[in-house]
Structure 1
Amino acid sequence: MRTADASPTPISGPSSPFRIAAFRRFVSANLISATGSAMAPLALAYSVIEQGGGAGSLGLVLATSTVPTIVFLLAGGLFADRLSRSRLLFVGNLLAAGAQGALAVTVATGHATTVSIAACGFVSGTAASFIVPAAQGAVAQIVPRQHLQQANALLRLPSNAVKALGPAVGGVVVAASGAAWALAWDAVTFAAAAVLLLGLRLEAPLAAPGGVLSDLRAGWAGFWARTWLWTYTVAGSVLVAAWLAGFQLLGPLVAARRYAGARDWGLIQAAFTCGLLAGTLVCLRWKPYRPLTVAVCAGGALALPLASMACTLPLPLVLPATALAGVGLDIAIVAWTTAFQQRVPQAEQGRMSAYNGVGERLAIPVGYLVTALAARSWSSQAVLLTCAGMIVAATLLNLCVPDVHRIDRLAPDDQPQAADGRRTVVQA
């Protein structure tokens, strides 16, 4: 059985991804969507508050938007390997636009309830489960292999910039006009992105014939056969759980007790965002020969701010540690994505991305729950130090996997390998 790409990957091509019209369209769609998504969490929280909900109601809303992303992610990966990814992106963004639009209307008219907000969140989460795997494979279909790292960095540059400005702008919009307007803008950006993405007209990958269950079994076999892929997923799950639990959950509490509260926490968040932007700029220039090794090492930098806050170091030392964590995280994401796109054949990228995503997303609620329970018996500093130690341990153990160091940067005329080690055939 041969594995084939849906379209040829050019050996020679334009000198920059931005010279490719389809890539410019893809970047534009992502940028437009990001401007709405950056404001959505704040608007969602205040829509719950405005209708009288408290922490329990907000927790229910957040859970209903997260659970379907995990539950349906494998189905999204399966469809991404069978259908046109541009059509999947269109449908997913259109579905999200409808959900956010309906939510905006109910909030604006005063008919929003916890149940209705949660229902819209469930639809948005379902849409995300189809968007994420399709987007992963779409970039590799659009951009020549030698420009994948630059393309991934260019995709993250505007989104990181929006992350820095979006919450502040969203706060002004919500304060001045109410949550409904911010939610409506999010719906408009999803709809605009859907139209742009439909214009990509990407062909469906040429997947092996078979039923849904056989495709899922083949996908799992391919995932398990790639030791570098599943070990990185396991290590990444530990990193995600430890980082979010330590930084997002305990960070504000430590800032309130040991530093100057919201002001200093805002500075720490700003340092992290600046680090993300700096990491993107590094990836535009630096193309490591061992991208997966670099991704593993760079991800270990997330331990720095957790350890510095656990040791209650002065703020002037916490800020550069947090900025370095941002630099490391962005380098890790770009290097990992590039290695994945270069080493996994087109017809398998949707399922491989889904299996990877499920593992890392499952770690989020587990990390929050375990940290909340541990914080009852341990001090916040002890939990932070434990989270930092988990990140370091996961990084070092992943570096002990020989396959991680065998993933080098492919030359333009090389082809990715199937799970059995054979080179895949590119169909002209």
Structure 2
Amino acid sequence: MPTTSGSPLRLAPFRRFLLAQIVSATGTAMAPLALAYAVIGQGGGAGSLGAVLVTNSAPTIVFVLLGGVLADRMSRSRLLFAGNALAAAAQGVVAVLVGAGYATTATVAVCGLVSGTATALRVPAAQGAVPQLVPPGQRQRANALLRLPTNAVRFVGPVAAGLLVAAGGPAWALGWDAVSFALAAVLLRGLRLPAPLAAGPPLAALRAGWRAFRDRTWLWTYTLSGTVVVAAWLAGFQLLGPLVAAARYEGARDWGLVQAALAGGLLAGTLVCLRWRPRRPLVVAIVTSAGLAVPLAALAAGLPLGCVLGATVLAGVALDIGVVTWTTAFQSHVPEDEIGRMSAFNNIGERLAIPFGYLLVALAAHLWSEGVVLCVCAGLILLATLLNLCVRDAYRITRPASSRVPGSRAATTVEAGSGG
């Protein structure tokens, strides 16, 4: 693998990986709207849709550890192929059931369970595939390029899904989602990435992975901070945001503009990361998490819509810079044969509190005004960010030299200072 700096687009395997991401992103952007209208179309309400969403997301938390262990033992390209093929099958069955008029909440939920399991297999493998495809000096640009199509289709995906659902029903959009997963599976199968060295029996490997995660102070403290930040952001923005828009602004129309502003900010953040390579990417990732508090505070204060849109754009820019710089730091300072398990522990940590965050915010909104609860959410984000900035190990995670060997234990020990 070349180690000089430059564009990862010159590497044929990375282009194949990127194309797979672009294809699957088009289907993923359409799926939520199509799934919602599929449930509504068969007579389901909020409870039915909630059950489908839970069955889709719960397996990711439950099985992501298994995905992490497998990603450190199997060929990651084969694991990505299997995950995408499984998702294609699940979404294909949903599309057929919806199109034939046989879909029920139970059948859609079962397919969601399979789809969520497929996600648990894909996420750690995708995290570990990038270091195998791209040399250290090109990883931030590679991660930004991978984010670019996902953020771009946030603009057109829901609109295209709406038109497709209106014209022919949700089965067509769900069918394209299945096809996109199948095409991505074929592209990823062609990567043929070698398997990492097996680290003993699976349970022993899991225990060893937990010790390695625990010994990296910068990693577990960032994950712990993310547990608070992600839960507070989603509960404040996704749960209370639409309610505030309905009460103080023009409802769905203005909330759609806010969502578009977030997508525009994410896209702008990706473009920034294509040019800017900070020396301390983890510190940048921590600092940018504070940007998520800005739109929550703007909504809490009841600022004019223009101010809310500007605050949301800023949050989107900060969020995407944080995602890219964190991913780059993670991939550069975790040995290649541990990335799957470390990614799994990080994913569990950041997702675990989300259901509790929704529940607590919903209960708190009955006791206090929405503005007060939004201020608490913003305050929790700022507090978690400030505490994470006090972790000394975070400042030792520096941008790797382009000649550094990916996954080098010595490099990780010297720069992270917290157990390689």
1:143 aligned partner, one-letter code: V
Q: Percent identity?
A: 65
- Are 1:155 and 2:168 an aligned pair? no
Q: Is the 8 A contact 2:273 2:321 kept in 1?
A: yes
Task: Report what 2:115 is aligned to.
Answer: 124
2:32 aligned partner, one-letter code: P
Give the TM-score normalised by the residue count of structure 2: 0.96
Instruction: Name the CA distance, whole Å, in 2 between partners of 1:57 and 1:135.
Output: 31
Q: Is the 8 A contact 1:72 1:126 kept in 2?
A: yes
- Are 1:11 and 2:15 an aligned pair? no
Task: Report what 1:354 is aligned to.
Answer: 344
Aligned residue pairs, count: 414
Instruction: Name the CA distance, whole Å, in 1 between partners of 2:216 and 2:75.
Output: 25
1:379 aligned partner, one-letter code: S
Tell me how far 1:11 sits from its aligned partner.
2.6
Aligned mate of 1:30, from 2, 21, 26: 21
- Are 1:265 and 2:261 an aligned pair? no
Residues 130-178 of structure 1: CA deviation (Å, up to 9, x unaligned) = 0000000101100111000000001111110011110111011111110
Aligned mate of 1:393, from 378, 383, 399: 383
Q: Is the 8 A contact 1:417 1:423 kept in 2?
A: no
Instruction: Name the CA distance, whole Å, in 2 between partners of 1:237 and 1:165.
Output: 30
Instruction: Name the CA distance, whole Å, in 2 between partners of 1:320 and 1:207.
Output: 49
Task: Report what 2:240 is aligned to.
Answer: 250
Aligned mate of 1:71, from 28, 38, 62: 62
Task: Report what 2:170 is aligned to.
Answer: 179
The residue matched to 2:326 in structure 1 has which SS?
helix
The residue matched to 1:151 in structure 2 has which SS?
helix
1:289–1:423 distance in 2 versus 1, CA, 3 Å? closer
Q: Which has the higher helix share?
A: 2
Q: Is the 8 A contact 1:10 1:145 kept in 2?
A: no
Unaligned runs of 5+ in 2: none
Q: Is the 8 A contact 2:138 2:402 kept in 1?
A: no
Across the aligned residues of Structure 1 and Structure 2, the Cα RMSD in angstroms comes to: 1.4
2:177 aligned partner, one-letter code: D
The residue matched to 1:246 in structure 2 has which SS?
helix
Instruction: Name the CA distance, whole Å, in 2 between partners of 1:318 and 1:311.
Output: 10
- Are 1:56 and 2:12 an aligned pair? no
Residues 289-320 of structure 1: CA deviation (Å, up to 9, x unaligned) = 00000000011100000001101111121111
Tell me how far 1:117 sits from its aligned partner.
0.4
Instruction: Name the CA distance, whole Å, in 1 between partners of 2:254 and 2:268.
Output: 21
Aligned mate of 1:145, from 110, 119, 136: 136
Instruction: Name the CA distance, whole Å, in 1 between partners of 2:214 and 2:2.
Output: 29
Instruction: Name the CA distance, whole Å, in 1 between partners of 2:322 and 2:191.
Output: 28
Instruction: Name the CA distance, whole Å, in 1 between partners of 2:210 and 2:409.
Output: 13
The residue matched to 1:287 in structure 2 has which SS?
coil
2:348 aligned partner, one-letter code: V
- Are 1:316 and 2:312 an aligned pair? no
The residue matched to 2:103 in structure 1 has which SS?
coil
Tell me how far 1:373 sits from its aligned partner.
1.0
Aligned mate of 1:134, from 103, 125, 131: 125
Task: Report what 2:358 is aligned to.
Answer: 368
Instruction: Name the CA distance, whole Å, in 2 between partners of 1:57 and 1:321.
Output: 34
Instruction: Name the CA distance, whole Å, in 2 between partners of 1:85 and 1:285.
Output: 29
The residue matched to 1:204 in structure 2 has which SS?
coil
Tell me how far 1:414 sits from its aligned partner.
2.7
The residue matched to 1:313 in structure 2 has which SS?
coil
Tell me how far 1:422 sits from its aligned partner.
6.9
Residues 64-106 of structure 1: CA deviation (Å, up to 9, x unaligned) = 1111110000000000000000000000000000000001111
Task: Report what 1:240 is aligned to.
Answer: 230
Residues 38-59 of structure 1: CA deviation (Å, up to 9, x unaligned) = 0101111111111111111111
- Are 1:194 and 2:185 an aligned pair? yes
Residues 332-364 of structure 1: CA deviation (Å, up to 9, x unaligned) = 000000000000010000000000001111121
Tell me how far 1:378 sits from its aligned partner.
1.1
The residue matched to 2:352 in structure 1 has which SS?
helix
Q: Is the 8 A contact 2:136 2:404 kept in 1?
A: no
Q: Is the 8 A contact 2:288 2:321 kept in 1?
A: yes
Tell me how far 1:260 sits from its aligned partner.
1.5
Q: Is the 8 A contact 1:292 1:404 kept in 2?
A: yes
Instruction: Name the CA distance, whole Å, in 2 between partners of 1:217 and 1:265.
Output: 45
Instruction: Name the CA distance, whole Å, in 2 between partners of 1:165 and 1:268.
Output: 15
Aligned mate of 2:294, from 287, 304, 316: 304
Tell me how far 1:423 sits from its aligned partner.
9.3
Instruction: Name the CA distance, whole Å, in 2 between partners of 1:234 and 1:161.
Output: 30
Instruction: Name the CA distance, whole Å, in 1 between partners of 2:302 and 2:244.
Output: 9
Give the TM-score normalised by the residue count of structure 1: 0.95
- Are 1:333 and 2:323 an aligned pair? yes
The residue matched to 1:112 in structure 2 has which SS?
coil
Tell me how far 1:327 sits from its aligned partner.
0.3
Residues 267-299 of structure 1: CA deviation (Å, up to 9, x unaligned) = 111111111011001000000000000000011
Task: Report what 2:91 is aligned to.
Answer: 100
Instruction: Name the CA distance, whole Å, in 1 between partners of 2:282 and 2:377.
Output: 23
Instruction: Name the CA distance, whole Å, in 1 between partners of 2:192 and 2:380.
Output: 43
1:222-233 equivalences under 5 Å are 222-233=212-223
1:237 aligned partner, one-letter code: T
Aligned mate of 2:283, from 293, 299, 303: 293
Instruction: Name the CA distance, whole Å, in 2 between partners of 1:86 and 1:257.
Output: 48
Instruction: Name the CA distance, whole Å, in 2 between partners of 1:36 and 1:392.
Output: 35
Instruction: Name the CA distance, whole Å, in 1 between partners of 2:53 and 2:284.
Output: 33
Tell me how far 1:109 sits from its aligned partner.
0.8
The residue matched to 1:276 in structure 2 has which SS?
helix
Unaligned runs of 5+ in 1: 1-8
- Are 1:90 and 2:88 an aligned pair? no
